[in-house]
Amino acid sequence: MNSAENLYSKHYSTLSNCELFADLDKEEWLKLLIHFHEEKWPKNTCIINHQKFLFHFFIIISGRIKMYNMDELTHKEHTLFLLKKADVFDLFCLLDGDKHKVYYECLDNIYVLAIPMEQLRLWLNKYPIHYKNFLSYSAKMMRMLEENVSQLIFANIATRLLKLLVDNVDKNSNQLKLINDLPNKELAHLIGSTRAVVNRHLQKLKKNGSISLQRNQIKIRDISLLLKELQKHDKKFPDTDSLKGKS
């Protein structure tokens, strides 16, 4: 088992970007990391045992994990969150101690740091000042869920897809990040649609010169065209103007 010093040195860049523990200094991290261990999960691993997250809390060191729900009758999926490096789970289990009926699937080879849930609760009780980060993080997640629900109810599929693309454009490179290599099926799960419908809309964006499609890779060809498409479909997203200067 790695020592706290080794874990801190090895994973400092990720830990320092973990929003939930944003104000911890090295000494505080070392006290907490005593209780962590490393785990590796292969790509396509599906975690459907809800008990697992009652007993351990995880920080993602590398890779992407989708957190999703599924209708037991139709097997229709909807992705609630796409978790990435420095994200954590399961916050709901940590806060209320109850089962969280969601599923997880590794979209890449995953590397996590895991801590027994009870140890993290003891640490929070001993250092209650850190609860403010957990409350802020919880509020952020709730806002994301609120926007997700609003999109599903009020926006059409074309708007949802455009918003998904624009929200995942890196402001420095004007290229997609996080979702650029996801298959259409996974994009559909993120916006409450089907693979065929997503493919049809992507082909339209390719045809108008907004994007290019190459072997499951989506690349932005003209960010200004993408923004115009979004504004044409829905006038409710003025915040996309901030990307215009990058076009």
The confidence score (pLDDT) of residue 181 equals 94
The residue among 137, 166, 201 that closes a domain is 137
Q: How far apart are CA 171 and CA 147, in angstroms?
A: 21
Q: Quick one: 102 and 173 in the same domain?
A: no
> Is residue 146 domain-resident?
no
> Is residue 182 domain-resident?
yes
| CA torsion, ordered 229, 233, 239, 242, to nearest 10 deg | 10
Q: Quick one: 121 and 25 in the same domain?
A: yes
Q: Quick one: 190 and 227 in the same domain?
A: yes
Q: What is the CATH number of the domain that holds 206?
A: 1.10.10.10
Q: What is the pLDDT of residues 198-245, one digit of tens each?
A: 999 999 999 999 999 988 899 999 999 999 999 887 665 444 434 444
CB 61 within 8 A of CB 113: yes
Q: How far apart are CA 6 and CA 8, in angstroms?
A: 5
CB 15 within 8 A of CB 8: yes
Q: How far apart are CA 4 and CA 156, in angstroms?
A: 49
Q: Quick one: 166 and 230 in the same domain?
A: yes
Q: Quick one: 109 and 169 in the same domain?
A: no
Q: How far apart are CA 85 and CA 112, in angstroms?
A: 9
Q: What is the CATH number of the domain that holds 24?
A: 2.60.120.10
Q: Quick one: 107 and 177 in the same domain?
A: no
Q: What is the pLDDT of residues 115-133, one digit of tens each?
A: 999 999 999 999 999 888 8
Q: Quick one: 97 and 161 in the same domain?
A: no
Q: Quick one: 124 and 182 in the same domain?
A: no
The residue among 137, 166, 196 that closes a domain is 137
The confidence score (pLDDT) of residue 99 equals 73
The confidence score (pLDDT) of residue 245 equals 43
Percent of the chain whose predicted confidence (pLDDT) is above 70: 91
Q: What is the pLDDT of residues 75-116, one digit of tens each?
A: 889 999 999 999 998 888 888 777 778 889 999 999 999 999
> Is residue 145 domain-resident?
no
> Is residue 148 domain-resident?
no
> Is residue 16 domain-resident?
yes
Q: Quick one: 32 and 85 in the same domain?
A: yes
Angle between helices 157-167 and 195-207 (to 10 degrees): 70
Q: Quick one: 213 and 239 in the same domain?
A: yes
- Tell me the sheet residues that pair with 116: 56
> Is residue 178 domain-resident?
yes
Q: How far apart are CA 53 and CA 171, in angstroms?
A: 34
Which range of residues forms the domain containing residue 200?
155-246
Q: Does residue 4 or residue 240 have the better pLDDT? A: 4
The confidence score (pLDDT) of residue 2 equals 66
Q: Quick one: 121 and 197 in the same domain?
A: no
- For the residues 169-180, what does the mean pLDDT come to? 92
> Is residue 142 domain-resident?
no
DSSP code of 154?
A: H
> Is residue 184 domain-resident?
yes
Q: Quick one: 129 and 216 in the same domain?
A: no
Which residue from 237, 215, 218 is spatially nearest to 227, judged by alpha carbons?
237
Q: Does residue 2 or residue 197 have the better pLDDT? A: 197
| Number of domain units in the chain | 2
The confidence score (pLDDT) of residue 235 equals 62
